[in-house]
A = this chain, B = another copy of it.
Amino acid sequence: MVEIAVMGYGVVGSGVVEVLTNHAENIAKRAKEQIDIKYILDLREFPGSPFESKFTNSFDKILNDPEVKIVVEVMGGLNPAFDYVKRCLEAGKSVVTSNKELVAAKGAQLLKIAQKNNLNFLFEASVGGGIPIIRPISQCLAANDVVEIAGILNGTTNFILTKMIREQMTFDDTLALAQKLGYAERNPAADVEGHDACRKICILSSLAYGRHVYPDQVHTEGITKITLADVEYAAVWGGVVKLIGQVKMMENGKLQIIVCPMFIPRESQLANVDDVFNGIMVRGDSTGDVVFYGKGAGKLPTASAVVADVIDCVKHFKARKYLYWEDGSKDYVEDYLLNEVAMFVRAESDDEDLAFKNINQIFGGVTRLSRKKPANGEIAFVTDVMREKEIVAKLAELEPLGVNVKNMIRIGDL
């Protein structure tokens, strides 16, 4: 019998308790031990709950109980989660978490403490919800150099973009619908500004390349500026707009990493990942492209990933799982303006012909796009591949010539 504690009884926490209870027999068989929830930490009270006797509002009770060998942290946020998790690891308890904010901000530090104390710190549920991705990257792909990871890592924004693409709903209307359906928070910034996707690509990158990348090192753009015009131009170009987190190792040993909306060709496996689903492409030098697809969030998918980690902890009390990365450094990430990229540009101009004469002269040729009912003076084109700073400079040259950029979207090479 292994005693565990669950910290946080929100959506994921209650899901963890539910999965552990409903699948108890199977789980015991797989873990080769019965798993018992001794405490559930929550400030609220849950009178009448079948787990009423397990609730506590005292973290110290969990910390100081030597019987508790594994702690599940599903509170979310950095505080007090970081402090609690750190103290649990220091007290000799393995920790399983679904908290991407925590892992993205403090992963290297917590993994170091876990290693020092010969404990496990596992976080399969922090990326991709119920999609197995942390474990496949760390284990199955051990015989590969990871060339690239690119993914649709946030279900809320993918739902919004899918509605915009399929039903020509505006961003604002779709966001309101997503909030009504419970897919988006009342304050949707973490999703629509790309922060959630950024945390996830940071975790995947840290794992794949062995050094921590911090969210503030990653150029991150959300989807708030995407209009139906952009969606339509993406279709004309031959694809769809998706919010992508992408990382590649460059030859100079630095990372090329970014989170932003991209035009994705229709043939790409990621182009067909719709609604609240996530899709993650891992390109290995031996395996080629492997894509993982599924629900990236939700109570039971996420809970089932947490429980799989708990089972792994139980099975590996003595043989620690290999899951580790070093601390990062300031110069580890390449300036995104130095990345080579092709760019979709939507702009306004009073004189279309003159505008394209100037654009073609300054860019040395672009691919012009047109849609059925453009706004007055609207023009659109796709540049060749060049350094992003060059594109920005050329567009700046065009401004005094009467070409006013309204939006820029990178072309994904996926």
Interface string of A128-165 (1 = CB under 8 A from B): 01111001100111111100000000000000000000
A143 and B291 in contact, given A269-B272, A315-B319, A322-B32 (Cβ under 8 angstroms): no
Residues of B within 8 A of A32 (CB): 322
A23 touches B290 (CB 8 A): no
A329, CB-defined interface residue at 8 Å: no
Flag if B315 contacts A288 (CB, 8 Å).
Answer: no
A198 within 8 A of partner (CB): no
User: Is A124 interfacial (CB 8 A cutoff)?
Assistant: yes
Task: Flag the segment in A298-306, A376-384, A396-404 that touches B.
Answer: A298-306
> How many copies of this chain are found per oligomer?
2
Which residues of chain B are near A272, meaning CB under 8 Å?
Answer: 269, 272
In the bound complex, how far is the Cα of B288 from the Cα of A124, in angstroms? Answer: 16
A109 at interface, CB cutoff 8 A: no
Residues of B within 8 A of A288 (CB): 130, 294-295, 298, 300-301
Assembled-state Cα–Cα distance A182/B33 (Å) = 48
Instruction: Report how far A300 CA is from B141 CA in the complex, Å.
Output: 12
Contacts known (A23-B144, A142-B26); A304 close to B286, Cβ less than 8 A: yes
Q: Counting CB contacts under 8 A, is A287 at the interface?
A: yes
Tell me if A316 counts as interface (CB < 8 A to partner B).
yes
Closest to A287 in B: B130
| Known contacts A286-B301, A292-B292; is-contact A142 B30 (Cβ 8 Å) | yes
- Is the C-beta of A27 less than 8 angstroms from some C-beta in chain B? yes
Which 4 pairs show the lowest CB-CB distances between chains A and B? A130-B287, A132-B140, A286-B304, A143-B307
